[in-house]
């Protein structure tokens, strides 16, 4: 069990949420992924103060590899997976998503005080799984003759994280159950294109994506759980509130087709799926 952290005696390395904030700033992706896995493995020896309000670091951004060029998403080229370089560009994009997913989870751990201890355990587990996803995909990219940083990347995921830094309810609504849930829809489509290529590396990528898809269902489910928990605590209707948050924060709409089986497994109700598919701002009363 995670121990309670006494603010006046806790050191930076001994307090779980402070350690998460510290790791978020690391620039070396290899060291960061390993340290996140170690933090998760050693959480029983860490101390946790759920009430402590931690000051934001300067700058309040994740540490990125110095050689990685960040660009607007409109400038990040997409290439056909029919070529080796095209597949490398695709894998690089997903590697970057997984690297930023580590940041999203670490940020959820350190930034928001006053939640139950299980909330921090959930997000630390997500951080560790995202670190492992990053390692698996980066290893595949390296096996193809490339590495993380060889192509430009965009910061779409972190942009929404920044927008919602002042409200944990908006964060749970619009990061795990909106942006990360899009991966549930996109992954089978990516795998279909790769299987058509029918190369050894394409099949290896698909095998890694199988692992990621299975575990991402759990990540989205955690987002759904804490979103609804927070709505209940604030006396809000979770279904009615969601379209308002989408509009307020200009969150992107999911692109069809939706992976309905995966989204149901992640806890979306039929009423929520109807809204996501059809975009009604007043979802009908559909039994979920």
Residues 6+ apart with CB under 8 A from 261: none
Q: pLDDT tens, position by position, for the chain (288 residues)?
A: 444 443 434 344 379 999 999 999 999 999 999 999 999 999 999 999 999 999 999 899 999 999 999 887 767 767 889 999 999 999 999 999 999 999 999 999 999 999 999 999 999 999 999 999 999 999 999 999 999 999 999 888 889 999 999 999 999 999 999 999 999 999 999 999 999 999 999 999 999 999 999 999 999 999 999 999 999 999 999 999 999 999 999 999 898 999 999 999 999 999 999 999 987 545 444 433
Q: Which of 284, 129, 106 is nearest to 221 (CA)?
A: 129
d(CA 215, CA 212): 5
d(CA 6, CA 51): 10
d(CA 282, CA 156): 27
Q: How many CB atoms lie within 10 A of CB 276?
A: 23
Enter the tokens of residue 193.
Answer: 């294109």
Give the pLDDT confidence score for residue 156 in this predicted structure.
80
Q: What is the CA radius of gyration of the chain?
A: 19
Q: Which domains are assigned to the chain?
A: 16-278 (1.20.1260)
Inter-residue contact 40 to 124 (CB < 8 Å): yes
Q: Rounded to whole angstroms, what are the CA distances from 162 to 83, 104, 133, 201, 276?
A: 35, 10, 23, 35, 23
Give the pLDDT confidence score for residue 95 in this predicted structure.
97
């Amino acid at each position: 069990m995670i121990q309670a952290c006494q603010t006046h005696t806790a050191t930076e390395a001994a307090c779980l949420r402070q350690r998460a904030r510290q790791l978020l700033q690391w620039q070396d992706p290899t060291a960061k992924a390993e340290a996140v896995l170690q933090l998760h493995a050693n959480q029983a020896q860490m101390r946790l103060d759920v009430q402590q309000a931690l000051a934001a670091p300067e700058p309040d951004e994740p540490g990125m590899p110095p050689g990685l060029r960040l660009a607007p998403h409109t400038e990040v080229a997409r290439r056909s997976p029919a070529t080796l370089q095209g597949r490398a560009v695709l894998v690089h994009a997903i590697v970057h998503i997984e690297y930023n997913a580590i940041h999203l989870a670490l940020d959820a751990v350190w930034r928001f005080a006053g939640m139950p201890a299980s909330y921090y355990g959930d997000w630390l587990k997500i951080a560790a799984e995202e670190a492992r996803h990053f390692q698996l995909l980066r290893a595949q990219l390296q096996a193809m003759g490339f590495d993380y940083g060889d192509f430009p990347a965009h910061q779409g995921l972190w942009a929404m994280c920044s927008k919602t830094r002042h409200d944990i309810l908006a964060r749970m609504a619009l990061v795990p159950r909106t942006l990360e849930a899009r991966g549930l829809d996109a992954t089978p489509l990516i795998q279909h294109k790769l299987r058509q290529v029918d190369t050894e590396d394409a099949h290896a990528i698909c095998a890694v994506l199988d692992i990621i898809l299975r575990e991402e269902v759990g990540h989205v489910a955690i987002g759904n759980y804490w979103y609804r928990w927070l709505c209940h605590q604030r006396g809000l209707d979770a279904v009615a509130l969601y379209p308002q948050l989408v509009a307020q924060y200009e969150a992107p709409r999911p692109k069809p087709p939706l992976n309905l089986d995966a989204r149901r497994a992640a806890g979306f109700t039929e009423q929520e799926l109807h809204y996501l598919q059809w975009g009604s701002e007043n979802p009908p009363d559909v039994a979920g």
